[in-house]
Amino acid sequence: MAQTAHSARAITAHKGANLQPRAEKCVLQIEFYLAMTALFLAVFPYFFPYTIKRILMESTRQQKISRLLQKELSEIFLLQTKSMAGTLVSVSKCYISPDMSICRAYLSVFPSERSEEIVANINGNVPAIRFELGKRVRHQLRIIPELKFFVDDSLDYLENIDRLLQQ
């Protein structure tokens, strides 16, 4: 033990001049990575649901069920919005929780000016939509997940960035 402490002091004394710049370099690298992460989240806040971590952490079963729910919800909205002339609702992405109890669906609405109003209306009719979804997927799923709908305005955000870059 004494020999280890002595040798550590000797190495520190011998290379002490080199340790300070290395520590400063590490601190600068950490600050750089934190700044880049903050910049990324500031520039692309609407892509946060689509992070690589979430995509990699989903199991194959979750991905299959998400695709099934996305397809069926898209068909439901296609049939229900026929009566609303000039309005198009599409399901851009679905995420399902690991216990398959909650489905987060991101909706893209055209025209985007009415997106908040339409998604609020859809959230008010979740029981009827869940019942219709249950009739469609009753042979694939035993329990129909709780549905939560959100506005996917990433396309509007990209359009805004393109417009700003063109100026």
- Grouped pLDDT means (10 residues each) for the chain, 167 residues: 47 52 70 67 57 63 93 92 83 92 92 87 93 93 93 80 84
pLDDT at 167: 81
**Distance from C-alpha of 133 to C-alpha of 155, rounded to nearest angstrom:** 26
* pTM of the model as a whole: 0.62
What was the pLDDT predicted at 81?
83
Q: Domain segments of the chain: what residues? A: 1-43, 48-166
pLDDT at 48: 54
CATH number for the domain running over 48-166: 3.30.300.20
